Amino acid sequence: MRTIGLIGGMSWESSISYYQGLNTGVQQRLGGLHSAKVILHSLDFAPIADAQRNQDWDRAAHPLIAAAKGLRLAGAEGIMIGTNTMHVVADKVQQAAALPLLHIADAVGQALRDDNISTVGLLGTRFTMTLPFYRDHLKTHYGIDTLVPDEDDQQKVHDVIYQELCVGRIEATSKQAYLAVCDRLAQRGAQGIILGCTEIGLLINQQDTPLALYDSAQLHVDYALDWALSSQN
C-alpha cells in the first residue's frame, strides 16, 4: 500500500470525510484490520481564505507548498489536495513535492467519462466556477463541456459554502436553494452535476434529486484508493 500525503483543513469539515473515506475504503477493499496509510497535514484555512478573496494565488499557495514538501519528507509517496479550489495551484504544489499529485478533476473526469457524460454542471466556490482551471482540465483531458450557474446563483452557492458548510452549518433552506440551482443547470443541458466543493456533499446527495450527482470528495477518495492499492489489484 502506498502512503498518501493529504493536505487538508480547507475546510477541516471535509477533511474529516476524506480521512474517514480513505480508511473505510481500505478496510472494505482489504478487509480485516487494514487501514489507510495517510499522513495528514491540516492547514489553518483563515489566511488561505483571505488570500482567495483577494485572488492572491501565490500567497494562497505558500502553505500548501510547504505542506507538500513536509509530507514528502515524512514519507508520503503521493499528494492529495483535499479541496477543489486550491487545485488552481496544483502544478506548483506538485513541483514542490516532486511526487505524483492525485488531481481531483481527474477523479471527476474519469467518472464522467465512464458514464458517457458530455455536458455537466459545476457547483463550487465562485473561484472554482469562474476561473478556467477546472473547466479547462475537464475539456482538455476528457472532452467534457462544463456549465456554471448564472451570477446570482454563483453568489448563492459560494456564500453557503463559506458562511455555512465550512463552519459545520447545514440549513434546509440552503439545501433547497442548491437543488433549484441544479435544476436550472439541467434545463440548460447539464446531464449531471459536479459537487465541485468538497463540503457540498454534506448538504445534498443523490437521494435528493433524480439528477446524477458527482461528489468530488468521494470520487477523489476512490481515485486515491485505486492509486494507493494499485499493487494489490
Catalytic residue numbers read 83, 197
Phi-psi region of 53 (alpha: psi -120 to 50; beta: other; left: phi over 0): alpha
Q: Is residue 26 within a helix (H) or strand (E), and if so which, with residue range? A: helix 12-30
CA-nearest of 92, 94, 87 to 5 is 94
Residues 6+ away with beta carbon under 8 Å from 198: 14, 17, 18, 82, 83, 84, 216, 217, 220
Strands 145-147 vs 192-195: parallel, antiparallel or unpaired? unpaired
Cα four-point dihedral sign 143, 88, 68, 220: negative
Helix locations, 31-103, DSSP H: 45-53, 57-74, 90-97
User: Which of 93, 70, 92 is CA-nearest to residue 80?
Assistant: 93
